[in-house]
Amino acid sequence: MCKGISILKARLKQELFDQYELEQRITSRGAGAQPELHFMYTDPVVQLPVIHDGQLVIYEWGNRGNKESKLPRTGWCRLESLKAGKWRWLSPEKIIIPANFGLEKSVWFQINEGMQGVVVHDEQERPHAYMLTQPASHYYQTMTRHERMPILIDQEI
């Protein structure tokens, strides 16, 4: 899978920083590196930047702990489940998760454009983003020791 992403700060508009208080997410890979923001599924506030209907916005990442909600209590959606119609009752819409790096089991891997996801709405019509996954390639599985991987846009690992 992918438990976190990183996106270059320059890709996000100032309005998003103001609206979602993203300053605490800013980090750097070292001297001379561009500032970036980390979004982890283990964060106290679980969020993901997504492109939905052509707009870059911040949505809640899946449904981690709300047992009252009808939404699946995870942050990922298996492509096979989506194709089998198991998510149809939620009327999922495709989204893009823009990212420059992904993180799985302490291994950062480069992402050229982003990854695929879906957005669904909870009982209060709030959007929740889920990362789409597929069986891992041999290289990804060797690199991360995980049998599932995100679906990258126009990129194979």
pLDDT tens string 75-96: 999 999 999 999 999 999 999 9
Burial label, 154 (beta-carbon count in 10 A; 0-12, 13-18, 19+): exposed
- Please report whether residue 125 resides in a domain: yes
Element (DSSP H or E) covering residue 120: strand 114-121
Is 146 part of a structural domain of the chain? yes
The answer to whether position 61 is within a domain reads: yes
pLDDT surpasses 90 at 26: yes
Residue 157 lies in a domain: no
Tens of pLDDT, residues 27-70: 988 888 899 999 999 999 999 999 999 999 999 999 998 889 99
Q: Is the pLDDT of residue 117 over 90?
A: yes
Q: Per-residue confidence at 156, pLDDT binned at 50, 70, 90?
A: confident
Helix (H) or strand (E) holding 58: strand 55-61
What pLDDT, on a 0 to 100 scale, did the predictor assign at position 29? 87
pLDDT reading at 5 higher than 90 = yes
Does 156 fall in a domain? no
Domain that holds residue 98: 4-150
User: How many structural domains does the chain have?
Assistant: 1
| Predicted model pTM | 0.94
Determine, yes or no, domain membership for 155: no
